[in-house]
Amino acid sequence: MSAPTFAPLLSSLADTRGDLADRPAVRIGPDALTRGELLGGAAAVADEIAGATTVAVDATASMETVIAVTGCLMAGVSAVPVPPDSGPTERGHILKDSGAQLWLGAARDDVALPTLAVDPAARSASTRPEPDSAAGALVMYTSGTTGAPKGVVLSRSAVAAGLDGLADAWDWNADDTLVHGLPLFHVHGLVLGVLGALRHGSPLVHTVRPTPEAYAAANGSLYFGVPTVWSRVCGDESSARALASARLLVSGSAPLPVPVFERMQSLTGAAPIERYGMSETIITLSTRFDGERRPGWVGLPIRGVQARLRDKAGNPVPHDGETLGQLQIAGSTLFDGYLGNPEKTAESTTDDGWFETGDIAIVDPDGFHRIVGRESIDMIKSGGYRIGAGEVEQALLAHPGIQEAAVIGVPDTDLGQRIVAYVVGDCPDHGVLSDFVARSLSIHKRPREIRVVDTLPRNAMGKVQKKVLIADFAAAR
């Protein structure tokens, strides 16, 4: 079978035939642009940055971010979205590791790069040929279990493939209005939630924050949220009922608890769509607009993606709906590798070229997938954010009073998991220590709870026994 081909990433946005340029493209808070205005704004950015290879974008939830990223794609420059709340340590790492040559955004004291503030009113009529589809589109920084976040290199064709797979799975089309309020520095909010809307011609309403009231007021047909967002929507009955007119409510980035699935169904009259993705695989599995939606299950591979389960020895796992295996992925949505880190890329790739997700899953005889958990206890998902325990431990150890630190994720009804830190040392006030982490990394990586202990439980090799800490935490409830 020949490899699928995709229309160039920006071909739909560049199409100005008929009244296409006058159609609404994006509204964020009070700011709105038509497709033609966005095209002109992005071309103005492209004119300024042409010739660069990699540019960092201060990825605030704003029109400036949408224009900046689109301008990078137009100029064939890799965009590196930087979380706006990342502290100097995290931001410094991303800028150095990515080799960004320019900072697109407001000037910041700790950013030494040449800076270009995006003017949302600027327009240019310049046009340029669409870059090669194998070229890099984005470098998305995401946490590993240890160490600082890694840069995930996504090509233009991988992004296009993922978005076209979703159009097929969800019948996503230009008659949809997409609504979400997710951050613009991850795959969910930026790649699916902005570039998807531009590619499929569906206007995007970005609510700045994903609050139930803002979702209810937006009058969309297609909504994206992480499970925390949907849980909060269900906690606000009138907002949830206002979403009954939507065509699809989509949940992803973390497991949607079955009670939240059922509550969404009872309040809105329709079961949500669940889908599974990953920075490295973009979008992978989903239930379909015209197919079964089963609580706790994330459905089938989207078009262009192959999924398989392997046991620890690398053998196939039966599709019996109960045998666990590691989920592995191949196909057109895969990343090109971790930037500047071929060893890590090789470590996560099997000999026959499949990506090892580190997620444990089961598959039933119909090919339906259920994500059961993560292989590593050190990979935490809190509010849909991927957080490596090691990264938070390093941030804690940078405090002069802390001698040892171990971070775990514990169940949380709102966030899915919340970060708890066990520390040894002369611990300052817990709020002060939590703020210390929030200032150095991103706010969502701060510990929500800190426990001071005399010693950490360690095995004979000196490794901290996190399972003991998790059991200790549960027993203390």
Residues that bind ligand AMP (CB under 6 A): 142, 186-187, 252-255, 274-279, 298, 357, 359, 371, 374, 381, 386
Of 381 and 466, CB closest to ligand AMP: 381
Of 387 and 405, CB closest to ligand AMP: 387
Of 211 and 341, CB closest to ligand MLC: 211
140 contacts: CB under 8 Å, gap ≥ 6: 81, 151, 152, 154, 185, 186, 187, 190, 191, 279
| Chain centre to alpha carbon of residue 161 | 17
Helix-then-strand count for the chain, H and E: 14, 25
43 binds, among ligand MLC, ligand AMP, none (CB under 5 to 8 A by kind): none
Question: What is the DSSP secondary structure assignment for residue 254, as one 8-state letter?
Answer: S
Of 286 and 332, CB closest to ligand AMP: 286
**Rounded least distance, CB 18 to ligand AMP, Å:** 37
Binding site residues, ligand MLC, CB under 6 A:
182-183, 186-189, 210, 226, 228-229, 252-253, 277-279, 383-385, 434-435, 438, 443-444, 446
**Torsion angles phi and psi, residue 232, rounded to 5:** -70, -35
Query: Which residues share a beta bridge with 185?
Result: none
**Rounded least distance, CB 357 to ligand MLC, Å:** 11
392 binds, among ligand AMP, ligand MLC, none (CB under 5 to 8 A by kind): none
**Rounded least distance, CB 287 to ligand AMP, Å:** 10
- What is Dmax (Cα atoms) for the chain? 72
**Rounded least distance, CB 365 to ligand AMP, Å:** 21
**Rounded least distance, CB 392 to ligand MLC, Å:** 13
274 binds, among ligand MLC, ligand AMP, none (CB under 5 to 8 A by kind): ligand AMP
Of 274 and 391, CB closest to ligand AMP: 274
**Rounded least distance, CB 134 to ligand AMP, Å:** 22
383 binds, among ligand AMP, ligand MLC, none (CB under 5 to 8 A by kind): ligand MLC
Rounded distance between C-alpha atoms, residue 471 and residue 377, angstroms: 13
Q: Is 76 exposed, middle or buried (0-12, 13-18, 19+ CB in 10 A)?
A: buried
Rounded distance between C-alpha atoms, residue 25 and residue 40, angstroms: 12
Residue 133, number of CB atoms within 10 A of its CB: 18
Rounded distance between C-alpha atoms, residue 436 and residue 95, angstroms: 21
